[in-house]
Amino acid sequence: MASASQAVRRQRPRSLLAGSAILVVGIVLAAVPQLLAPLSPLRFDYAHLLSAPSLLHPLGTDEFGRDMLSRVIWGYAVDMQIALFATVPALLVGTVVGALAGYFGGFAETLLVQLVGVVVAFPFLVLVIAIVTVLGPGLVNMYVATALVGWVFYAQLMMVEMKLQRRLDYAAAARAMGYGQVRIIFRHLLPNAVTAVLIYWMTDMALAILLGSSLGYVGLGAQPPVAEWGALIAGGKNYMTTAWWMTVFPGIAIVVTGLGFSLTGDGLGTLLGVRR
């Protein structure tokens, strides 16, 4: 039993290495797509409309002759931006609100619990689509919608973790030493309670890419001619039987990037769990 447990622990950090490697590649592609893409993602080539993958166009071309490899690479810049901007505001707001509600309890905790109950009563995607529909299509409005809805889940998770931490001996010792509540919350309790939130954040970034792709597919996310993976798949749906590469390769990019975030979150959870 012991040897099996040790073997599992030796294997799990590999998920962090594999996930980090995938994300590093994605970050590089997102940071300098103009240096790595062979052609402009907006360059029309009417001599090669719907061309199959070849040496000239390794991932083929779309209905306007645009190079799919270049468009998938430029899609990294858009979708990695979505992963950050659709989650970071919710992460920051939810962490602070959850930490305060978990520490002080009482009315703040009751109010947050009631708010969580209202939000989870509706599917997350339905709420986001409803808000984006009201505000109008586009990435900025998608970020607003995800921030308005998503912070509640971070707050709920942080509140639970903070309630656990405030009962531990080191929290009582900090109060006995006369430390202020702000210092106790943000310097002592929050660093120990944030582990689960960070792991959830990694998974949420993968879900944000899926959300952005879904909204792009239905025309509520990134707008043409932006090279966003969901929009690329939507553009190729009418050519599935004649130009499968228009949907398959952006789909592979979504799966691989999501896998990178998931593996990184799994490995990060293992490391932070051992340290705690």
Contact between 142 and 212 under an 8 Å Cβ cutoff? The reply is yes
- pLDDT the model gives residue 4: 45
Query: How far is residue 69's CA from residue 57's CA, in Å, rounded to a whole number?
Result: 7
Q: Which residues contact 204 (CB under 8 A, 6 or more apart)?
A: 87, 90, 91, 150, 153
List CB contacts of 15: < 8 A, sequence separation 6 or more.
Answer: 263, 264, 266, 267, 270
Give the pLDDT of residue 273: 66
Give CA–CA dist 94/124, Å, rounded. Answer: 16
| pLDDT attached to residue 225 | 87
Tokens of 165: 């931490």
Q: Measuring CA to CA, which residue among 32, 136, 23 is closest to residue 84?
A: 23
pLDDT tens sequence for the chain (276 residues)? 444 445 445 445 688 899 999 999 999 999 999 999 999 999 999 999 999 999 999 999 999 999 999 999 999 999 999 999 999 999 999 999 999 999 988 888 888 888 888 888 888 888 999 999 999 999 999 999 999 999 999 999 999 999 999 888 888 898 888 888 889 988 889 988 888 899 999 999 999 999 999 999 888 988 888 899 999 999 999 899 999 999 999 999 999 999 999 999 888 887 776 443
